[in-house]
Amino acid sequence: MDNRQKVLDTLDRLGIVYSVIDHPPVHTIEDMDALGVFTAGEVCKNLFLRNANGKTHYVVSMMKNKHPDIQNGIRAQLGCSRLSFGSDERLQKQLGLLPGAVSPFGVVNDDDHDVVVVLDKDFKTHKGLLGFHPNVNTSFVWLEFDGLMRFLKAMGNDVYFIEM
């Protein structure tokens, strides 16, 4: 089963309401903006990070207009060691994903529940749909915050909310 279908099947199994928009491959918020996908809801920016010793990995998701300070913002709030971007190899090993496809949906591939999900606290008060890649960069899944939380709870990974 491919990465996209695994996400969609999991959402269906959990009874989570969502919609999907397919599009050409995109790698940046600017690429997405050029396609006009922002009209469906709030597209979310995602990072794959690791701590200094490489033993803890994080998927960090935020509103698209945020510019987080990885060390003084994210690291400080999580109380962890220095953070850096995870390599393509780590991303593949931990979440089975390719660059450009990072999202909280990646934890569907994390059978050991090792990856920590870090969410923008503004997600809690967002009214409307949030958009994430379903583990490929050729689609967006749109869902409400409550649906995202149901998905993450079912996956069993730790989830933290911080100020971005």
SS3 string, 1-59, reads CCHHHHHHHHHHHCCCCCEEEECCCCCCHHHHHHHCHHHHCEEEEEEEEEECCCCCEEE
Q: What is the CATH number of domain 3-162?
A: 3.90.960.10
Q: What is the pLDDT of residues 73-111, one digit of tens each?
A: 999 999 998 999 999 999 999 999 988 899 999 999 999
Q: What is the pLDDT of residues 103-147, one digit of tens each?
A: 999 999 999 999 999 999 999 999 999 999 999 988 889 999 999
Q: Over the Cα atoms of the chain, what is R_g? A: 15
Q: What is the pLDDT of residues 26-38, one digit of tens each?
A: 777 777 777 766 6
Where are the domains positioned within the chain?
3-162
